[in-house]
Amino acid sequence: MRVIRNPFSDDVNKEFCRLIERNFPDIKSHLYYQNDVKKTVVPVPEWKDRIDRDSLMELYSKEKSLDKNNTKNLHQIDQSISGQRFVKDVGKIRLMLKDKYKGEVVVSGQFYYPPTGYMGWHTNCGDPCERFYITWASEDKKSFFRYYDYEKDEIITDYDDKGITVRRFHIPDRAPHLWHCVGSECDRLSIGFRIHCDIRLDLDTYIELEKRLVGKEGSLSNLRTDYVTELINNAKHS
């Protein structure tokens, strides 16, 4: 399938965690302060029903794929909520991605999911590209990224670790699409990036890469990142 989990080294993930986690108290405090007036942070008891298999199949059977989600319980984080430090920290993460992948990197979304937060099934097919989502979660395995594996006809629920989880996936502009959604039973911050890069690993190449790296010294995530970086620096396509 097209979802790659934690493609960076532990040191890079720790830096992602530091930059995001230090902003969380201010973001949550501001949102809940606003909520005293706006009442926008509300529990949704039926949230699980909105991102289950039945809700996917109802959309999947339609002639036109759903680009953007049509149901959600989340809050988009803008500068009025996050403050200047968060804007600068997201900018630092963007530059880290740009330096690693040597391509155009654009921030595509910044979201806070409260408990019972979710984003409904969608494909993003209107904006095909490589995407990274860097997620910070307050608890272990209480939030997730869920997607449909069309090859196995299976719903995959990929739970977040406490702290940082990074996912990379390819969004195609035609079928088979990557249908995906998000759910959370804890506090969850998610920052998305679109990357337009000349070099992209398809699934077959990625599997072959994993086979070549097995048995070598060092963590697999470090080896994988170094190998892909070497390909990019040498301007070679795998």
193 plus 210 within the same structural domain: no
113 plus 224 within the same structural domain: no
The whole-number pLDDT of residue 13 equals 95
How many residues are there in the chain?
Answer: 238
* Predicted TM-score (pTM) above 0.85: no
Averaged pLDDT, 163-192: 94
Mean pLDDT is highest, among 19-23, 99-103, 122-126, 234-238, for 19-23
Averaged pLDDT, 83-91: 92
The whole-number pLDDT of residue 82 equals 73
Q: Per DSSP, what are the bridge partners of residue 157?
A: 146
137 plus 231 within the same structural domain: no
In whole angstroms, what separates CA 38 from the centre of its chain?
A: 28
Q: Of 137 and 39, which is predicted with more confidence?
A: 137
Residue 191 and residue 110 in contact, taking contact as beta carbons nearer than 8 Å: yes
Q: How far apart are the C-alpha atoms of 16 and 22, rounded to whole Å?
A: 10
Q: How far apart are the C-alpha atoms of 153 and 140, rounded to whole Å?
A: 27
Least-confidence region, from 47-51, 87-91, 153-157, 210-214: 210-214
187 plus 221 within the same structural domain: no
17 plus 112 within the same structural domain: yes
Q: Of 123 and 38, which is predicted with more confidence?
A: 123
62 plus 26 within the same structural domain: yes
Q: How far apart are the C-alpha atoms of 217 and 220, rounded to whole Å?
A: 9
141 plus 171 within the same structural domain: yes
Averaged pLDDT, 82-96: 92
In whole angstroms, what separates CA 24 from the centre of its chain?
A: 17
Averaged pLDDT, 70-76: 91
pLDDT at position 238 over 50: no
127-174 pLDDT, tens digit per residue, is 888 999 999 999 999 999 999 998 899 999 999 999 999 999 999 888
Q: Of 162 and 209, which is predicted with more confidence?
A: 162
Looking at the chain, list the stretches that DSSP marks H as alpha helix, in order from N- to C-terminal side. 10-21, 24-38, 53-60, 79-82, 84-101, 203-213, 220-233
179 plus 232 within the same structural domain: no
10 plus 63 within the same structural domain: yes
15 plus 111 within the same structural domain: yes
User: What total number of domains does the chain contain?
Assistant: 2
* Crossing angle (nearest 10°) for helices 84-101 and 24-38: 130
Smallest CA-to-CA distance from 191 within 10, 14, 19 is with 19
99 plus 159 within the same structural domain: yes
* Crossing angle (nearest 10°) for helices 84-101 and 10-21: 160
The whole-number pLDDT of residue 65 equals 79
39: pLDDT confidence band, cut at 50, 70 and 90? confident
146 plus 52 within the same structural domain: yes
Domain of 14 in residue numbering reads as 3-197
